[in-house]
Chains A and B, each alone.
Chain A
Amino acid sequence: MIKIHLDPRTKLVMIFAVSFIVMVNAVSTIEWIVRIIVTLIPVFLLANEGKHVSAIRFLLCYAAAILLLKYYISAESTGILSALLLGYCGIVAQFMPAMIMAWYVIHTTKIGEFMSAMQKMHIPDGISVSLAVVMRFFPTIKEECLSINDAMKMRDISFGGGRITKMIEYRLVPLMFSCLNIGDELSAAAVTRGLGAQVRRTSPVQLKIKAVDWLMIVIFLLSMIIFVISKYFR
């Protein structure tokens, strides 16, 4: 399959549209159709990145959640089971699409592209640099968390001796210390390489909005418009 490569600006439009449409409550059929479309596109992109298993697993969960919402759960549902199912549906149908979109954006955007895109949109360097650091930190935090988890397994304290506060404390304290250290060393390394210079940053990455970008932008903006009109102006 041809690998789709999107412009960071397109991705920004998409992430904004997905988060908005998916998070807001959908009622009418047209709203549901829009919502399912904007959910399926990120899932397709996920598969396009080679994560076929995750994509299929999500599709199954999503189908289950949609069916449950349509035929089982209603505003009158009560009881623990429906509450749990409602929670499940909420997470799968409302949070997961946005998470998948965020994963896709972080996973496929190179820092260089991102900086270049921000510059084209005339965002000040200060803001784009900080956002870039945030993006760079996600994989680091993941690596650190995995190591801490291993260390906890070896000490047999994964469940904090049964106390939830300890469970969280034992994870957060080492994580905070190592992120602080890494952050400090990282900024020292960055300033020795001229970050913060009083000149305009340049970028060797040439960005161009291609046909597929236009397609995505049109789909997502249209979805937003349809959704808003259907929800608030009828």
Chain B
Amino acid sequence: MIEFKNVNFRYRGTDESGLHDLSLTINDGEMVLLCGASGCGKTTVGRLINGLIPHYYKGELTGNVLVNGMDIEKTELYELAGVVGTVFQNPRSQFFAIDTDGEITFGAENIGMPPDSIISRKDDVSSEMHIEKLLGRSIFELSGGEKQIIACASVSVLSPDIIVLDEPSSNLDLEAIEKLKEILKRWKLQGKTIVIAEHRLYFLRELADRMLILENGRITKEMTAEEIKKLTITDTEKMGIRPMILPEIQYKNSVVESEDILLLEDFCFTYKDGKHGINIPRLELPAYRIIAIIGHNGAGKSTLARNICGLERKCKGTLTMNGKKMKAKERLHNCYMIMQDVNHQLFTESVRDEVMLSMTDKALTDEQKASLADEILEQLDLAEYADTHPMALSGGQKQRTAIASGIASSKSIIIFDEPTSGLDLAHMKQVADQLKKLKDMGKTVIVVTHDNEFILSCCDHVVRLENGCIAEDNHKR
């Protein structure tokens, strides 16, 4: 059983508080879903259960948190390791080992389990989760979905009573989410207590026993399993959370009237491993529209985006727009990509410098550049942060800074790589609005995404890839 008694928490070095007078009891075997906007405190609740607060993330804590009767404040983290297991959001940063076997056994080694039991536990878990195929592989060659399954397996090895998941589906495609759902179902059958903080909710509709909605560190609403199942899209919209049902994308059947076309020819590219790549002899995309590229993890979406961008020199493909045929090198001057991890593309010391860095027109003086930059920042609601260091911004603000530098570079094609992974409803809509703004400016926008809800809110055209080839190519209704 997990008990929160009048818990207040504030992260060190910040004014905003994490949790306000929160009381909560979670019974054994219950599956509780925590949701709410980013910064509402749901991650903090998870961290209090697995002991990362107060032992790893420091701050002011009052009140009591009891996990299976142990006071979290007086219990060392390693004592909790066998009781509470945690699956984190980012598959990139939760792996200790380089190979899957080592990763799965890591926890068991730490608590000093005898070697024979480690091996038998590993075998049990891998047959239970059907991951024999993933054993003995390098972590770095797995897809995001496979990584997250390995993360679940490495938690399962210690057979904890309580499992905390912090936005586990952020980087997953629909198929991988199905697998995650199966794992959750099995854990639930085994009687484990599950606490899951999430933005994407549809896959938890039948599983959750209780849903708590948090706002500014307080529980504002509590719903039972029956109530959750009754929620419609309008209800969730009103509550500010993502829908409980996976929305279907409807397509137009009719041939669309002729419009400006972006023509891709001979986009064939294979990675060094010889297995992954794309093979697209010809593809017509509507120009000045928002185009979604969808498909499973590993279907070649990001590869296509990189090739359109001209980042792979070896690709012989050409892109024709307005009668101009562009090879990889020229495309690099006409395309701009907002990467999934925007931290990789912020280089300077202030947001304004960041935008000015993209202006390569030598005819402009620094003052002209600065005033142009301020105009762009104004459009993206970043004006007040013009002098802030980009790394001090929130995730969404960083993304908008990257968009601003894309606009400043006056390139005509803007590509987004999974811009909404891990975003709540409000932020997802905000990104959708940015994309529409770009379209209104006359840019062609290409988005690699798994997020159906996002596609519905802004995309005009959907291309689905399968094994590196075009499987479907449709206008959205």
Residues in chain A within 8 A of chain B (CB atoms): 110-112, 115, 132-133, 135-136, 139-140, 143-144, 147-148, 150-157, 169-170, 173-174, 177-178, 181-182, 185-204, 206
Contacts and interface: CB of A to CB of B under 8 A. Distances in A.
A139 B97 CA distance: 11
Interface string B116-148: 001100100000000000000000100000000
11 contacts: A136-B97, A147-B344, A154-B332, A155-B405, A156-B333, A189-B93, A193-B107, A194-B107, A194-B110, A195-B110, A196-B110
Given A181-B343, A189-B93, A193-B81, A204 B122 contact: yes
Contacts of B360: 156
A152 B409 CA distance: 13
A202 B56 contact: no
B74 to A, nearest CB: 15
A112 B102 contact: yes
B101 A110 contact: yes
Contacts of A199: 111-112
Nearest to A133: B96
A151 B335 CA distance: 12
Contacts of B158: 193-194
A173 B391 CA distance: 10
Q: List 8 tightest A-B contacts by C-beta distance, closest first.
A: A194-B81, A197-B78, A194-B110, A151-B345, A199-B112, A185-B93, A193-B107, A189-B94
A51 to B, nearest CB: 11
B357 interface: yes
B339 A192 contact: no
B343 A155 contact: no
A174 B347 contact: yes
A185 B52 CA distance: 11
Contact of A154 (B101, B102, B337): B337
Interface string B265-290: 00000000000000000000000000
B92 interface: yes
A173 to B, nearest CB: 6
B339 A147 contact: yes
B99 A112 contact: yes
Given A174-B345, A182-B92, A204 B119 contact: yes
Interface stretch (B32-40, B82-90, B173-181): B82-90
Nearest to A139: B140
A167 to B, nearest CB: 11
A213 B30 CA distance: 53
B115 A203 contact: yes
A110 B98 contact: yes
Contacts of B105: 112, 204
Chain A at the B interface: SS class: helix
Given A193-B158, A194-B81, A144 B110 contact: no
A203 B77 CA distance: 21
Contacts of B111: 194, 197, 199
B113 interface: yes
A10 B110 CA distance: 25
B203 interface: no
Interface size class of B (residues with CB under 8 A): 35 or more
Nearest to B57: A188
B109 A151 contact: no
A173 B347 contact: yes
B78 A202 contact: no
Contacts of A193: 81, 85-86, 96, 106-107, 110, 154-155, 158
- Which of B102, B113, B158 has the most CB atoms of chain A within a 10 A radius of its CB? B102
Nearest to A143: B140
A82 B414 CA distance: 49
B118 A204 contact: yes
B121 to A, nearest CB: 9
Contacts of B159: none
Nearest to B349: A173
Nearest to A132: B96
A110 B311 contact: no
B96 A154 contact: no
Nearest to B138: A139
Contacts of B115: 202-204, 206
Contacts of B13: none
Contacts of A189: 86, 88, 93-96
B399 interface: no
A201 B93 CA distance: 22
Given A192-B81, A196-B78, A178 B409 contact: no
A78 B107 CA distance: 60
B358 A155 contact: yes
Nearest to B80: A192
B357 A200 contact: no
B9 interface: no
B412 interface: no
B30 to A, nearest CB: 21
Contacts of B337: 150, 154
Contacts of A143: 140
A200 B52 contact: no
B52 A136 contact: no
Given A140-B92, A156-B332, A156-B333, 5 more contacts: A186-B93, A188-B88, A191-B52, A193-B106, A198-B78
A186 B112 contact: no
